[in-house]
Amino acid sequence: MSYVLVKKIQDRFSLQLKAGEEGLGRKIYKSDISRPGLEMAGYFTFYPSERIQVLGKTELSFFNGLEKADRIDRMNRLCTEETPAIIAANGMEVPVELYEAADKMGIPVFRTSIATTRFSGMLANFLESKLAPMTAVHGVLVDVYGIGILITGKSGIGKSETALELVKRGHRLVADDLVEIRQVAENILIGTSPELIEHLLEIRGVGIIDMMTLFGASAIKGDIRISIVLELEDWVLEKTYDRLGLDEEKIKIIGTELTKLTVPVRPGRNLAVIIEVAAMDYRLKRLGVNAARDFSDKLDNVIGSKPSQMDEEE
């Protein structure tokens, strides 16, 4: 099961640690955020203790108006073994009762100056992207004219060399060799690179190169939505390849259908240019311009309007 460490949340949002340092290694499994308003009033029947708890001005203002015994009770019940972290937003001061209860349970307590609603949205989006259904695919992911293209194929077919040529032509590398793919929403797949090989590209005979160092920050991109899967394969003379593009092949990744193109590789073919054209053609099709369909319609019209040989003889 995917998870995010509490320490990752602290680093991502520059949170100020106020208590429970020993709990920074706690794991977060849920992307949902809880604002425990009812819990501050004493209603814990459906308390989602496994979520990050965000306390804003409303919750803490109500809490500060409670009797001392009630404040201690609320915080002791708020801090459970399952609770990954508690965050006081909007610059609110952390109550003493929360310090004591969190330290006793080893729960990290943070403070941020970001407005509560805005911070909750940012945190939820971050967790959703990290905890979304994920798979890993062997291939290369590039950003070509804003279109995410996942290049696949057997080892040594030329995926990395093609990506290098695309970068030299002004496009951007997202991931080489291994692509992590997350389904962040229905029919939306986002591809990223594992941290260990981020910005790196392997070229046989040269070795591993750092694309950002060689070509600058504009040559790399952190993530992109995948729109096309382009498979490279050795050219087979006996195989019939699609020459019109009328039948759009599909491939499923984590239940999401993507357009798939199969491109045969042989000496003399400029794969970088082919991929550029594939990206532009994909964008045109989404705008309603389909050259293959238009050609087919024109051909049908010509055939339909041409008199038959029998009619000519009569």
The pTM is what?
Answer: 0.71
Residue 161 and residue 94 in one domain: no
pLDDT score of 246 = 65
Place of tokens 């809490």: 63
Of 72, 103, 131, the position where a domain reaches its end is 131
Q: Is the Cβ–Cβ distance between 42 and 74 less than 8 Å?
A: yes
Distance CA 275, CA 80 (A): 53
Q: Rounded to 10 degrees, what is the CA torsion of 107, 108, 109, 115?
A: -120
Residue 246 and residue 146 in one domain: yes
Residue 41, token pair as written in the block: 């009033």
Distance CA 262, CA 284 (A): 19
Binding site: residue ranges? 153-160, 202
Residue 123 and residue 18 in one domain: yes
Least Cα distance to 20 among 108, 110, 116, 115 occurs for 108
- Catalytic residues, by residue number, are 138, 159, 177, 243
Residue 114 and residue 140 in one domain: no
CATH number at residue 81: 3.40.1390.20
Residue 46 and residue 174 in one domain: no
Predicted confidence (pLDDT) per residue in 92-138, tens digit: 999 999 999 999 999 999 999 999 999 999 999 999 888 888 899 99
Which DSSP symbol is given to 207?
E
Residue 249 and residue 153 in one domain: yes
Residue 66 and residue 98 in one domain: yes
Residue 106 and residue 233 in one domain: no
Domain count, the chain: 2
Does residue 312 form part of some domain?
Answer: no
Binding site for Mg(2+): residue ranges? 160, 202
* CB-based contacts of 158, cutoff 8 Å, min separation 6: 232, 265, 271
| Amino acid (one-letter) located at 279 | A
Binding site for ATP: residue ranges? 153-160
Query: Which residue range is the domain that position 224 belongs to?
Result: 134-297
Does residue 309 form part of some domain?
Answer: no
Q: Is the Cβ–Cβ distance between 251 and 240 less than 8 Å?
A: no
pLDDT score of 244 = 66
Predicted confidence (pLDDT) per residue in 250-282, tens digit: 999 998 999 999 888 888 788 999 999 999 988
Q: Is the Cβ–Cβ distance between 55 and 35 less than 8 Å?
A: yes
29-57 mean pLDDT: 94
Adjacent-strand bridge partners of 27? 5
Residue 254 and residue 172 in one domain: yes
Of 105, 131, 157, the position where a domain reaches its end is 131
Residue 169 and residue 122 in one domain: no
| Amino acid (one-letter) located at 97 | E
